[in-house]
Amino acid sequence: ADLAMYRVKHTGGNQVLHFEAEMGEPAERRQLERDLRGAHERGELRLHYQGRFALHGVTPSGPGLVGFEALIRWEHPERGLVPPVVFIPMAEDSRAILPIGAWVLREACTQAVRWQFAERGLAMSVNVSPMQFEQPSFVQDVQAALEAAGLQPEALVLELTESLVMRDLTLAQNHIQDLKALGVQIAIDDFGTGYSSLSVLQALPFDQLKIDRSFTSHLTTSASQRVTALLTAMIQLAHSLEMTVTVEGVEDETQRRLLTGLGCDHVQGFLLARPLPPAQAQSLLPAGAESPVPS
């Protein structure tokens, strides 16, 4: 029952269903929760990086690349790769998300400096969990991570979900105001899947809107007319509020072509690049200026 709850809350798709079937008993989930406690110290957590690409014009960094999203991976010694939709909620429940989230932030900032993001006009996007965001010290933590890595704030994007900001709108307003004063960019992630889309846009000055991949997958199904209308409206709305639009989950050429026609700015998806370990992600950077990636 607990696993079903995780699935409903975090809608992870087939990969997760498969994983849950394998996990079987609740006792196994408790074991996984115990394993998670030491995973960070044992060095089992890694970041993969997925490219985000411009659909229009040429970017300073070459063929469309505008940045990366850092996506956490847990390499379990016996189970192999555990997907974040399974273990991030567990980490939230046990507060382990705080040291994990702090590590993600530092590691992603450090990688952005190694890859000379600021010089190349690229941005590193980092997902923020609700408990992490609600720490009174969150803005200072971000500032400390930037300073420790030596990263320009403009090269960092923090991705917040609608449900995160709706938990405490006043806190979200304060933190976002302070983060923007630092120079950090803010994105609203998984847009269109929550219950409060428009009021959230009214209250909070996001720089980027990321439209959930559930819309993308319907672009080429029988629901395509309605989805096209919704995407057109969301893109227009974002532009009139001076936000950049990224559409997630682009898996084929038809989707890319349709999104280009709709005026979408950026796309992310398996068609362009999967989430990749650092050494492979690095090959997406323009040639000639790579710096070595410590493993």
270 binds, among ligand C2E, Mg ion, none (CB under 5 to 8 A by kind): ligand C2E
Nearer to ligand C2E, 10 or 114 (CB): 10
- Which of 35, 107, 189, 265 is the binder for Mg ion (CB under 5 A)? 189
64's CB contacts (< 8 A; 6+ apart) are 53, 54, 55, 58, 272
Sign for the pseudo-dihedral over CA of 294, 273, 73, 157: positive
Nearer to Mg ion, 35 or 126 (CB): 126
204: left (phi > 0), else alpha (psi -120 to 50), else beta?
beta
Q: Does 107 bind Mg ion (CB under 5 A)?
A: no
Q: Which amino acid is at 155?
A: A
How wide is the angle at C-alpha 248 spanned by C-alphas 245 and 251, nearest 5°? Answer: 130
What is the smallest separation between the CB atom of 217 and ligand C2E, expressed in angstroms?
8
Q: Does 159 bind Mg ion (CB under 5 A)?
A: yes
Q: Does 162 bind Mg ion (CB under 5 A)?
A: no
Segment near Mg ion (CB under 5 A), from 110-118, 120-128, 198-206, 259-267? 120-128
What is the smallest separation between the CB atom of 214 and Mg ion, expressed in angstroms?
9
Could you give the CA distance from residue 109 to residue 41 in angstroms, rounded to a whole number?
20
Nearer to ligand C2E, 60 or 65 (CB): 65
35 binds, among ligand C2E, Mg ion, none (CB under 5 to 8 A by kind): none
Per-position x/- string for 190-229, each x denoting binding to Mg ion as judged by CB under 5 A, each - no binding: x---------------------------------------
- Residue showing tokens 């009174």: 136
What is the smallest separation between the CB atom of 103 and Mg ion, expressed in angstroms?
17
Sign for the pseudo-dihedral over CA of 124, 203, 228, 160: positive
192: left (phi > 0), else alpha (psi -120 to 50), else beta?
left
Residue count, binding to Mg ion (CB under 5 A): 4
What is the smallest separation between the CB atom of 225 and Mg ion, expressed in angstroms?
24
Nearer to ligand C2E, 122 or 247 (CB): 247
Q: Does 127 bind Mg ion (CB under 5 A)?
A: yes
- Bridging pattern class, strands 244-247 and 65-76: unpaired
255 binds, among ligand C2E, Mg ion, none (CB under 5 to 8 A by kind): none
Could you give the CA distance from residue 244 to residue 255 in angstroms, rounded to a whole number?
19
Nearer to Mg ion, 65 or 158 (CB): 158
**List of residues contacting ligand C2E (CB under 6 A):** 50, 71-72, 83-85, 88, 101, 104, 127-129, 159, 189-190, 213, 248-251, 268-270, 275
Chain residues that interact with Mg ion, rule: CB under 5 A = 127, 159, 189-190
